[in-house]
Amino acid sequence: MATYVKRAFKYRFCPTDVQAAELLRTFGCVRKVYNLALAARTQAWARQERVNYYQTSAMLTVWKKTEELAYLNEVSSVPLQQALRHLQVAFTNFFGKRAKYPRFKSRKKSRKSAEYTSSGFRFRDGKLTLAKMREPLDIVWSRPLPAGVSPSTVTVSQDPAGRWFVSMLCDDPSVQPLPATDTAVGIDVGLTHLLTLSTGEKITNPRHERRDRAALAKAQRRLAKKARGDGANRAKARRKVAKIHARIADRRRDTLHKLTTRLVRENQTLVIEDLTVRNMVKNRSLARAVSDAAWTDLRSMLEYKAQWYGREVIAVDRWFPSSKLCSACGALRERMPLNVRAWTCNCGTTHDRDVNAAKNLLAAGLAVTACGTGVRPQRSTPGGQSATKQETPRRKP
């Protein structure tokens, strides 16, 4: 049996007043069950006991029978069970040291969502009907689902801007490995230019946040002047701020999808730098620009699309001196300030800083492919002596 890529198709939809009320009620119940289960597991952990998913599922049955939590019976049980499964995954990641300890969901700050498995919805003739609802959702089909495919999981959500989304997880038979090519490209990320390729091509940084910075600042000032609380005026002002943020994020995501799809389709091997964006945003002077560039999202898209289409993404060590190394002769300069955008090597080659870095990244990535992880391309010191740096295993004491 053929194995297909699991792919989520996300659409906007316009719920009726009855559907919106039902979904908001479901979001609240999902949040309540998640917090109750997290509290129970935290208390058990303090007693040096462990509570797993099956025990919290039994607790949910008891909670539904109490007078205080009887309203949990008014919504579909599927999203409530899925909330417990999500909590189990959160604890699994915590014990595996892949995430922090799970946190309680907030009514105002946490994402409003509910997940339905196949027993909680009906998908027939292109119409999706959720449990506890009589009418199908009015979905805006911006693109069709793969032919003959039915979703295995449906996630309904509402973003801070008030927009409603439904995400359908399907097996996509259209995603197949592309024909292999012999092309490879080095990719150097930046702020003036979002990407600089080893081919010499430079892709300008759109700076999506800067385009709406004035409107965002104005909306945020109006929000700051509203009285704190659950008032309607403050909610309206908060929604205006959220809409501007959503518009910026949508444009950024669209640009990155188009760019990464083109790079993956055109190249067999893509070499990038393993940057620690988390540490870079701690610089107050660069935090806004680095966040707007979304280098982490760019890398994530490249990696999963490369996996889809049979390509390879290689991440080069972040300490590799890609900017200070001459891609022609291999000479290494001692210093290279950020304000130096072009420089001439002793061998007479004039380099554009970003293009030279992309070429060096490509060479390092190809060396990794040929010789193994940790190998860097041969280079020579400014004095002319060549030196090859290779990671060697340390001896155990």
Instruction: Please write the tens of the pLDDT for every residue from 13-28.
Output: 999 999 999 999 999 9
**What is the structure's pLDDT at 374?**
52
More confident residue, 396 or 366: 366
Does some domain include residue 111? yes
Cβ atoms of residues 170 and 143 within 8 Å = no
Please give the full DSSP string across 311-380, using - where no structure is assigned: -EEEEEPTTS-TTTB-TTT-BB-S---TT--EEE-TTS-EEEHHHHHHHHHHHHHHHHHHH-TTB---EE
Does some domain include residue 296? yes
Residues 6+ apart with CB under 8 A from 21: none
Range of the domain at 309: 184-316
- Which ranges of the chain would DSSP assign to H, the alpha helix? 17-46, 53-65, 77-95, 208-211, 213-225, 232-266, 277-280, 287-293, 295-309, 353-371
Report the DSSP pairing between strands 184-189 and 269-273.
parallel
pTM of the full structure: 0.85
Q: Are residues 219 and 276 in the same domain?
A: yes
Residues 6+ apart with CB under 8 A from 281: 287, 290, 291
Per-residue pLDDT tens over the stretch 212-259: 999 999 999 999 999 888 889 999 999 999 999 999 999 999 999 999
Does some domain include residue 393? no
**What is the structure's pLDDT at 371?**
66
Q: Does the pLDDT value for residue 380 go beyond 50?
A: no
Mean pLDDT score, 189-206 = 93
Cβ atoms of residues 272 and 357 within 8 Å = no
Distances from the Cα of 161 to the Cα of 45, 110, 164, 207, angstroms: 37, 13, 9, 21
Here the tokens at position 183 are: 């092309």
Q: For residue 153, count other CB atoms closer than 10 A to its CB.
A: 17
Per-residue pLDDT tens over the stretch 367-377: 877 665 554 44
Residues 6+ apart with CB under 8 A from 35: 104, 105
Burial status of residue 47 (CB atoms within 10 A of its CB: 0-12, 13-18, 19 or more): exposed
At residue 16, the 3 state secondary structure works out as: coil
Q: Are residues 50 and 153 in the same domain?
A: yes
Burial 85-101 (b: 16+ CB within 10 A, else e): ebbbebbeeeeeeeeee
The last residue of one of the domains, among 172, 196, 226, is: 172
Instruction: Indicate which residue of 115, 188, 209, 303 is catalytic.
Output: 188
Q: Are residues 59 and 92 in the same domain?
A: yes
Largest CA distance in the chain: 83
Does some domain include residue 329? no
Q: Are residues 158 and 214 in the same domain?
A: no
**What is the structure's pLDDT at 116?**
97
Per-residue pLDDT tens over the stretch 266-316: 999 999 999 889 899 998 888 999 999 999 999 999 999 999 999 999 999
Q: Are residues 190 and 304 in the same domain?
A: yes
The last residue of one of the domains, among 117, 143, 172, is: 172
Look over the chain and give the mean of its residue pLDDT values, rounded to a whole number: 89
Q: Does the pLDDT value for residue 188 go beyond 60?
A: yes
Q: Are residues 157 and 188 in the same domain?
A: no
Known catalytic residue at 254: no
Q: Which of 273, 354, 357 is nearest to 317 (CA)?
A: 273
> What would the 3-class secondary structure string for 89-104 be?
HHHHHHHCCCCCCCCC
Does some domain include residue 255? yes
Q: Are residues 106 and 156 in the same domain?
A: yes
Known catalytic residue at 312: no
Instruction: Indicate which residue of 22, 209, 292, 354 is catalytic.
Output: 354
The last residue of one of the domains, among 248, 281, 316, is: 316
Q: Are residues 162 and 234 in the same domain?
A: no
Q: Are residues 188 and 152 in the same domain?
A: no
Instruction: Indicate which residue of 22, 273, 292, 303 is catalytic.
Output: 273
Q: Are residues 164 and 194 in the same domain?
A: no
Known catalytic residue at 273: yes
Q: Are residues 12 and 37 in the same domain?
A: yes
Q: Does the pLDDT value for residue 382 go beyond 90?
A: no
Mean pLDDT score, 113-125 = 95
Q: Are residues 75 and 204 in the same domain?
A: no
At residue 240, the 3 state secondary structure works out as: helix
The amino acid that residue 334 corresponds to is E
Q: What are phi and psi for residue 165, nearest 5 degrees?
A: -135, 150
Does some domain include residue 91? yes
Does some domain include residue 377? no
Provide the number of structural domains found in the chain.
2
Does some domain include residue 74? yes
